[in-house]
Structure 1
Amino acid sequence: MIELLFLLIFWEALMIIILLFNTSFLELLILILDRLRRDRWPLILTTAAATLLALLLSGVYGIINIQKRHIHDADGHAHLNPTDQLLMANHLLQTTLIGVVLFLALIIERLHYYTTELRITRECIAAIKKLEATKALQEERDKLKSKFVQLKSDLNSKAKDVDVAEANVTALTKQSQGFLLENHRVLEENHNLRKKLRVLDKRFSHSLSKKNM
């Protein structure tokens, strides 16, 4: 019995060390403890704890009974006989070990609970941060979308201005072509008029020369 209790204390101490430090065995231990909380394991563990508690109470009761069996010597001093002393030491050792086992089991249960709560809290915080980042990205996307709509509207307005300017350029080009044609016609008329004037001038000069003769 005592060897079994020492073995339990060793394994419980090892589990506490694993729960206290973030090692590679922590995930495995938490998974095992989570499974122990499901199915029939809670009933089994409760029964085992109740059995150890009963043994603890039985040991305390045995210690009290042995304390009552004092032997008084000739000097009036109370002491226990060797057999009672051996039983007392055995009961004290067994009771102490059972108390340590139960205490360490309680520590393991609390550490597992708080470790699980801490993991859940961290996951919630990470999810909240991710949600906030998503909201920030959504807001940024909405801002970019509104800017895009504004830029598109400005682009359409500029495109209309460009169309108007192109229409004006086309009209001015046509008007310029008309002016060029008109200028060309006027130049031709001027050229023709000069020819006619030269012809008339020659005729007039010729007629004057005949009169002078």
Structure 2
Amino acid sequence: MIPLFFLVVSGECLVAFLLLVKIGPLRELMMKGLDQVKMRKGTILTIAGTISVILFSNFISIVKIQNKGSKVGTMTPMDQVLWRTNLLEATLMGFSLFLGFLIDRMHHYMRKLIKLRSSTGASNQEVERLEKEKMVLKEKEEKAAEEVNRLRKEILNLTDNLKKLKLDCTEKQKQVETAEAHVTALQKQAEDLLLEYDRLLEDNQNLQNEALAYRS
């Protein structure tokens, strides 16, 4: 079993190395392979459980051999070989389980990291879109502000023109009132002149009558 576990540990070390170091598309291929492996979670747990049982059995064997050597005072060469073999197997199995757990965690967190990067990329795109919309709204706001300023200037100009027109209208109204007063005065003066003219005609007629009477 020792060569088998050496092979397993070497393979796990290679997988861990490929997960840690990005070499071309190997990391992506390894991630996809681990995704496929994790789909058979029951098989993996069965293998891990079997290795754990064997590891526990080796640990018990190591303890028994040590206890036997302690009682006798020394271990026989066979016991030493068995002890070293069990210790090596236990070490390889423990290291294999540790590497398996490490690879599982690395795969889990790298998958989370990939999802986080994807969501971050989507968030960045959303932020860029919002920034563009903000720029468009800012441009519209600037145009609206310019239009408001232009309308304000037009309103001010119209207000000034209206004030000027009111002043002109007031002056013309005063001129009209003055002209009407002058016309009224002229009319009154004309009436007085007509009365005076009528009186003079009457006096002239009287004088003519007196002259005719005197001649007769």
**2:100 maps to 1:101:** no
Q: Residue by residue, what CA displacement relative to the aligned partner does 1:72-131 show, whole Å, maximum 9, x if unpaired?
A: 7xxxx8111121111111111111110110011111111111111111222222221111
Larger radius of gyration: 2
Q: How far apart are 1:14 and its partner, in Å?
A: 0.5
Q: Residue by residue, what CA displacement relative to the aligned partner does 1:174-195 show, whole Å, maximum 9, x if unpaired?
A: xxxxxxxxxxxxxxxxxxxxxx
**Cα distance in 2 between the residues matched to 1:71 and 1:29:** 48
Residue 34 (structure 2) aligns with? 33
**Cα distance in 2 between the residues matched to 1:103 and 1:65:** 25
Q: Which one of 125, 129, 134 corresponds to residue 130 of structure 1?
A: 125
Which range is displaced more, 90-99 or 62-71? 62-71
State the SS of the aligned residue for 2:22: coil
Q: How far apart are 1:32 and its partner, in Å?
A: 1.1
Question: 1:71/1:119 Cα in 2 relative to 1: closer, same or farther (>3 Å)?
Answer: closer
Q: How far apart are 1:64 and its partner, in Å?
A: 1.0
Q: How far apart are 1:7 and its partner, in Å?
A: 0.4
Residue 10 (structure 2) aligns with? 10
Residue identity opposite 1:120 in structure 2? K
Q: How far apart are 1:23 and its partner, in Å?
A: 2.0
- Would you say how many aligned residue pairs link Structure 1 and Structure 2? 151
Residue identity opposite 1:132 in structure 2? V
**2:37 maps to 1:42:** no
Residue 62 (structure 2) aligns with? 63
**Cα distance in 1 between the residues matched to 2:143 and 2:22:** 49
Residue identity opposite 1:15 in structure 2? V
**Cα distance in 2 between the residues matched to 1:70 and 1:112:** 44
Q: How far apart are 1:58 and its partner, in Å?
A: 0.2
Residue 185 (structure 1) aligns with? none
Residue 163 (structure 1) aligns with? none
**Cα distance in 2 between the residues matched to 1:150 and 1:84:** 95
Question: 1:129/1:59 Cα in 2 relative to 1: closer, same or farther (>3 Å)?
Answer: same
**Cα distance in 1 between the residues matched to 2:10 and 2:70:** 39
Aligned residues: percent identity?
Answer: 28
Gaps of 5+ in 2: 155-216
**Cα distance in 2 between the residues matched to 1:107 and 1:95:** 18
Gaps of 5+ in 1: 159-213
State the SS of the aligned residue for 1:69: helix
Residue 86 (structure 2) aligns with? 91
Contact 1:71 1:81 (C-alpha < 8 Å) held by counterparts: no
Q: Which one of 75, 80, 86 corresponds to residue 80 of structure 1?
A: 75
Residue identity opposite 1:26 in structure 2? R
**Cα distance in 1 between the residues matched to 2:70 and 2:121:** 69
**Cα distance in 1 between the residues matched to 2:38 and 2:84:** 36
RMSD of the alignment, in Å?
A: 2.4
TM-score between both structures, scaled by the size of structure 1: 0.64
State the SS of the aligned residue for 2:23: coil
Residue identity opposite 2:36 in structure 1? R
Contact 1:5 1:97 (C-alpha < 8 Å) held by counterparts: yes
Q: Residue by residue, what CA displacement relative to the aligned partner does 1:22-65 show, whole Å, maximum 9, x if unpaired?
A: 22211111111122222xx1000000000000000000001111
Contact 1:62 1:91 (C-alpha < 8 Å) held by counterparts: yes
